[in-house]
Chains A and B, each alone.
Chain A
Amino acid sequence: MKKAEVLSILEHNAKLSNQEIADMAGISADEVEKIIREANEEKLILGYKATINWNKLNQQYVFAYIEAKITPQKDVGFDAIAESICKFEETIDVCLMSGAMDLLILVKGKSIRDIADFVTQKLSTVDGVTSTASHFMLKYYKDDGIIVSQRENNLRQSLVL
């Protein structure tokens, strides 16, 4: 399945050129171009972004997971409320969950105050949201599949082989 192979390569490194992906997948650069164009059109690829270790910059962000309980609406269930929550620019991920809560929302702000304002003034006031619980993130250990601390350490010693 060349499509899955190309997308899997791209998922790990979005900076690769079509020719590089073609080499790695054992197909031509034209085929790669076609697969990616189609994947964009089909919304299989939703975006391209870098994984940033914000902790290393002075300008730090605060992240929090917010659990929300909501009352489902007739015909549309959770979708309409979830989609309206997605429109807040503070939200990064919005997922419907099994278990005690309904939605799990990842939000990003410049300060704890930012996030507190978002929860009390925006999220809680959305019709259908019945309660929220906020969990502030203290430290990232693994981000988007990448172990944060290991990226900098080179433990290898020189040897002969």
Chain B
Amino acid sequence: MTDSYISDRAKELKPSGIRKFFDLVANTSGVISLGIGEPDYVTPWKICGSAINSIQQGYTMYTSNAGMPELRQAVCDDLNRRFGLQYKSENCMITVGASEALDMAARAILNPTDEVIVPEPCYVAYPAVVELAGAKVVSVPTYEKNNFELHAEDIESKITSKTKAILFGYPCNPTGAIMSRERLLEIAELAKKHDLIVMADEIYERLTYGTEHVCFASLPGMQERTILLGGFSKAYAMTGWRIGYALAPKDILDAMLKIHQHVIMCASTASQCAALTALKECQDASKAMIDDYNRRRQLIVGGLRRIGFSVFEPKGAFYCFPNITSTGLSSEEFAEQLLKQEKVAVIPGTAFGDSGEGYVRCCYATAIDDIREALTRIQRFVESLKK
């Protein structure tokens, strides 16, 4: 086989910075991983039971392309109720995770000459999805001193006549940052002024601690320029079910649906039944998990600060993003040496963009005893550096 069979587009796609790291982790035993961004819970049993029941009842065929009507309506009702939105079923499609929703959104709106503003550090798939759609990523760094919030003035200087959209995810993977209403309103102003679409990945929206999430589409005039992406993986510990959704103005949603019809057909039927149960009957189970993440969040932030790191307080998702520059190591050196010396896996901040240099991502959706042991090992590692 030669390289010549591989498309230019596939060749140009950068391998994930995390991949390289996980290959290292996979070959080391006794590792405590703060690496994977996944709940350590299994899916609440009631949700699993409803999927099993659906199969027994004969729900084994395709659903409508856009998803089960009851589920689409339930997703709209839930968002409308919590955020004061006015979505109808025709604005909603059920997808194979928020990942598919993101891909459909990018493919539906982007032309090859378009530019998309993407704040960094960000989820590894954002730049890849934009590039696969043929468009150009324009990175905008966010800073610890600004609580990793996206500032309108930082975006405005990057806007050109080719700018089509802004793509962001808050609560943020990897920083754990959330956006205040004031900052989001500034972005909304900018979107209006320059006629931009906003792709808002709100997959972590239920995972906020002490602060209510502000849904971008709920800001005045924004429902008609927002593609809202979400899903069930994080709040209901349903990562393996691959079930998410997209909400958008009808003409954009119809375009997304056209692509979805050809490449996906529909999301898994059993997963859709499970998702409906999650939404309608499992808020308590979800809240119990989120309360527990909050305890772990405070445990890891407190522990890392006592070791001596400057740690931005994450108010959402399940990541913390300590500043490791005091060790004199780069993000990659820190992560690699920590793994080799103490068998603790964290992800170098640079995996999420150049502006992640000086940080590492620690996922605290991990057993409490593992977090405690990881903190002990990290402390030992940091002390060894001083010698």
Listed in ascending order, the chain A residues whose CB lies under 8 Å from chain B are 9, 12-13, 15-16, 19-20, 22-26, 150, 156, 158-161
Separation of A158 and B37 alpha carbons in the complex (Å): 11
Contact of A160 among B124, B299, B306 (CB under 8 A): B124
Is B80 part of the binding interface, using a Cβ–Cβ cutoff of 8 Å? no
Given contacts A161-B37, A161-B38, A161-B124, contact A24 B16 (CB under 8 A): no
Separation of A16 and B311 alpha carbons in the complex (Å): 22
Least CB separation from B239: chain A residue: A161
Contact of A161 among B26, B36, B42, B369 (CB under 8 A): B36
Top 7 A-B pairs, shortest CB-CB distance? A23-B302, A24-B295, A160-B16, A160-B19, A24-B299, A23-B298, A23-B299
- Distance between A58 CB and nearest chain B CB, rounded to angstroms: 26
Separation of A13 and B371 alpha carbons in the complex (Å): 13
Is B296 part of the binding interface, using a Cβ–Cβ cutoff of 8 Å? yes
B residues within 8 A CB of A150?
42
- Distance between B118 CB and nearest chain A CB, rounded to angstroms: 17
B residues within 8 A CB of A26?
298
Show 15 residue pairs from A and B whose CB-CB distance is below 8 angstroms, ordered by the A residue: A9-B295, A12-B368, A19-B306, A20-B302, A20-B303, A24-B295, A24-B296, A24-B298, A25-B295, A26-B298, A150-B42, A158-B25, A160-B18, A161-B18, A161-B36
- Distance between A77 CB and nearest chain B CB, rounded to angstroms: 37
Listed in ascending order, the chain B residues whose CB lies under 8 Å from chain A are 16, 18-19, 22, 25-26, 36-38, 42, 124-125, 295-296, 298-299, 301-303, 306, 368-369, 372
B residues within 8 A CB of A15?
369
A residues within 8 A CB of B26?
158
B residues within 8 A CB of A24?
295-296, 298-299, 302
Least CB separation from B302: chain A residue: A23
Given contacts A23-B301, A161-B124, contact A156 B36 (CB under 8 A): yes
- Distance between B14 CB and nearest chain A CB, rounded to angstroms: 12
A residues within 8 A CB of B25?
158
Chain B binding surface SS class: helix
Contact of B38 among A13, A16, A20, A156 (CB under 8 A): A156
Separation of A15 and B299 alpha carbons in the complex (Å): 14
Q: Check B22 against A158 for contact (C-beta < 8 Å).
A: yes
- Distance between B326 CB and nearest chain A CB, rounded to angstroms: 20
- Distance between B374 CB and nearest chain A CB, rounded to angstroms: 13
Separation of A156 and B22 alpha carbons in the complex (Å): 13
A residues within 8 A CB of B302?
19-20, 22-24
Separation of A20 and B36 alpha carbons in the complex (Å): 23
- Distance between B265 CB and nearest chain A CB, rounded to angstroms: 23
Least CB separation from B123: chain A residue: A161
A residues within 8 A CB of B124?
160-161
A residues within 8 A CB of B42?
150
- Distance between A74 CB and nearest chain B CB, rounded to angstroms: 45
Residue among A15, A22, A159 having the largest count of chain B Cβ atoms under 10 Å: A159
Residue among A159, A160, A161 having the largest count of chain B Cβ atoms under 10 Å: A161
Separation of A159 and B295 alpha carbons in the complex (Å): 26
Given contacts A13-B368, A20-B372, A23-B302, contact A160 B295 (CB under 8 A): no
Residue among A15, A22, A25, A160 having the largest count of chain B Cβ atoms under 10 Å: A160
Separation of A9 and B372 alpha carbons in the complex (Å): 14
Q: Check A160 against B22 for contact (C-beta < 8 Å).
A: yes
Separation of A148 and B376 alpha carbons in the complex (Å): 27
Least CB separation from B40: chain A residue: A156
Separation of A23 and B16 alpha carbons in the complex (Å): 34
Separation of A22 and B296 alpha carbons in the complex (Å): 12
A residues within 8 A CB of B298?
23-26
A residues within 8 A CB of B372?
16, 20
B residues within 8 A CB of A12?
368
Least CB separation from B19: chain A residue: A160
Q: Check A20 against B19 for contact (C-beta < 8 Å).
A: no
Least CB separation from B21: chain A residue: A160
Separation of A158 and B23 alpha carbons in the complex (Å): 9
A residues within 8 A CB of B37?
161
Least CB separation from B37: chain A residue: A161
- Distance between B44 CB and nearest chain A CB, rounded to angstroms: 13
A residues within 8 A CB of B16?
160
Separation of A25 and B302 alpha carbons in the complex (Å): 11
